[in-house]
């Protein structure tokens, strides 16, 4: 009888998604940065490992644009895929669940269990659609704060994430300095570039122009699958480096040795992007894609501090580990160094590592000994400080 990956001693095994709801009367609603309110709010989340008696070992893992609360382990024995950061979460791994209590929640505005545009609006009895309030990174973090309060954790050993998750990790350190011992920011920036906004807008336009989008009201009809698939294809290009794409695909053809002299997909890279787009449609909501990309576009730490990044970090009290990748052109290293320089100008304790790799922006999701070593050593140091 073949063994299942859940039997691996370094796997967290079978896991179950949990749900926490707040904001229902008589509780206060979540006040969004836009000024609108949201209630009730449900957060889907998973936990791995155990909270120690002193509650000093909790780590909040924050996902990127298309992530979920399912960061590690398997939902069933038939589940073919582990959580999105399973390579780093588990006994003996970077986020060692024999030592740390790891939490991951799906962000608000998402479509994997947390309240978002596909959720039922209690005022109308149907899906929110575009009636859902615009979400910001700050709103995501404020909602997560309620979850951490529910779990009765006074201070997090670390907050960590890559890409949009790294933005949330930065915001946690700014919004709740007294609750964060350390912040691990990977492949992120204090604000996305104009080029990044441009790619996000092209993806949104692809969804808008799908005949099935219907101004976001498609939940009881046909989903705008073609538009969402195209948006994903566009975005996926930005996650890879040119060198990686060349090595992985080059100009090789798929299932043929000769040009077809028509407009069918025949290059391997075309087939790969097409597959990525179709796969994405089966697990993600088009409206959530609009909301997530808009949240990334709106994020600009210094905008709330007189356009001064130094001032934005002035009140932070956590230690920082900032990691970038040389081939990441979506969130290039210069943006990470901007964060590091602002933190150091404020006298903050910062460790910065630029990892040389050809894997592009998605490198934080892939196995890497240097990434593992940097995070593991940093966490061990922070844990010793936390319990001393």
Note the pLDDT of residue 6. Answer: 84
Residue 3 has pLDDT above 80, yes or no: no
CA dist., res. 264 & res. 211, Å (int):
22
Residue 205 has pLDDT above 90, yes or no: yes
Name the band, by pLDDT with cuts 50, 70 and 90, for residue 322: very high
- 78 catalytic per annotation: no
Q: Break the chain into its structural domains and give their ranges.
A: 5-191+301-387, 198-293
| Nearest residue to 138 via CA among 324, 330, 296 | 296
- 70 catalytic per annotation: no
Question: pLDDT, tens digit, for every residue of 46-104?
Answer: 999 999 999 999 999 999 999 999 999 999 999 989 999 999 999 999 999 999 999 99
Note the pLDDT of residue 207. Answer: 98
Q: Calculate mean pLDDT across residues 213-223.
A: 97
CA dist., res. 194 & res. 308, Å (int):
19
Q: Calculate mean pLDDT across residues 146-172.
A: 98
- Per-residue DSSP letters for 99-161? T-EEEEEPPTT-SSSSS-TTSBPTTTSSB-GGGSPP--HHHHHHHHHHHHHHTT-SSBSEEEE
Residue 332 has pLDDT above 60, yes or no: yes
CB crowding 163-202: b at 16 or more within 10 Å, else e: bbbbbbbbbbbbbbeebbbbbbbbbbbbbbeeebbebbee
Q: Calculate mean pLDDT across residues 261-272.
A: 91
Note the pLDDT of residue 7. Answer: 83
356 vs 80 pLDDT, higher one: 356
Name the band, by pLDDT with cuts 50, 70 and 90, for residue 26: confident
Please identify which of the residues 86, 96, 328, 362 carries the catalytic annotation.
328
As given in the structure block, the two tokens for residue 322 are: 């900032």
Please identify which of the residues 105, 118, 119, 163 carries the catalytic annotation.
163
CATH of domain 198-293: 1.10.1740.110
Note the pLDDT of residue 27. Answer: 86
- 163 catalytic per annotation: yes
Q: Calculate mean pLDDT across residues 149-176.
A: 98
* pTM given for the model: 0.97
Q: Calculate mean pLDDT across residues 191-200.
A: 98
Residue 256 has pLDDT above 90, yes or no: no
Residue 79, SS3 per DSSP: coil
Note the pLDDT of residue 2. Answer: 64
Question: pLDDT, tens digit, for every residue of 269-292?
Answer: 999 999 999 999 999 999 999 999
Note the pLDDT of residue 140. Answer: 98
CA dist., res. 93 & res. 369, Å (int):
11
Residue 333 has pLDDT above 70, yes or no: yes
CATH topology of domain 5-191+301-387: Rossmann fold (3.40.50)
Q: What are phi and psi of 58, to 5 degrees?
A: -85, 130
Residue 1 has pLDDT above 70, yes or no: no
Backbone φ/ψ region at 118: left (φ over 0), alpha (ψ -120 to 50), beta:
alpha
């Amino acid at each position: 009888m073949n063994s299942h990956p859940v039997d691996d001693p370094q796997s967290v095994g079978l896991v179950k998604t949990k749900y926490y709801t707040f904001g229902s009367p008589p509780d206060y609603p979540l006040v969004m940065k836009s000024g609108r309110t949201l209630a009730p709010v449900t957060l889907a989340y998973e936990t791995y490992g155990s909270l120690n008696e002193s509650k000093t070992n909790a780590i909040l893992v924050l996902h990127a644009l298309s992530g979920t609360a399912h960061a590690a382990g398997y939902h069933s024995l038939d589940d073919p895929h582990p959580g999105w950061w399973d390579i780093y979460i588990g006994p003996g791994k970077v986020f060692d669940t024999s030592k740390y209590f790891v939490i991951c929640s799906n962000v608000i505005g998402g479509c994997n269990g947390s309240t978002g545009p596909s959720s039922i609006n209690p005022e109308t009895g149907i899906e929110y659609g575009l009636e859902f309030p615009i979400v910001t990174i700050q709103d995501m973090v404020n909602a997560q704060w309620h979850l951490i309060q529910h779990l009765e954790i006074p201070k997090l050993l670390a907050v960590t994430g890559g890409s949009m998750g790294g933005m949330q990790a930065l915001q946690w350190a700014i919004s709740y300095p007294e609750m964060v011992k350390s912040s691990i920011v990977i492949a992120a920036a204090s604000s996305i570039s104009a080029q990044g906004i441009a790619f996000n807008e092209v993806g949104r336009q692809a969804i808008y122009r799908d005949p099935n989008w219907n101004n976001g009201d498609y939940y009881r009809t046909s989903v705008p699958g073609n538009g969402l698939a195209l948006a994903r294809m566009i975005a996926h290009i930005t996650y890879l480096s040119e060198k990686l794409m060349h090595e992985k695909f080059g100009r090789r053809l798929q299932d043929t040795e000769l040009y077809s002299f028509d407009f069918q997909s025949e290059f391997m890279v075309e087939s790969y992007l097409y597959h990525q787009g179709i796969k994405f449609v089966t697990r993600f909501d088009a409206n959530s894609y609009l909301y997530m990309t808009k949240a990334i576009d709106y994020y600009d730490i210094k905008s709330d501090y007189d356009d001064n990044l130094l001032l934005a970090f002035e009140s932070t009290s956590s230690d920082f580990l900032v990691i970038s990748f040389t081939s990441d052109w979506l969130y290039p290293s210069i943006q990470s160094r901007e964060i590091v320089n602002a933190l150091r100008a404020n006298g903050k304790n910062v460790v910065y590592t630029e990892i040389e790799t050809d894997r592009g922006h998605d490198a934080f999701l892939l196995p890497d000994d240097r990434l593992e070593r940097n995070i593991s050593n940093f966490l061990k140091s922070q844990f010793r400080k936390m319990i001393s």
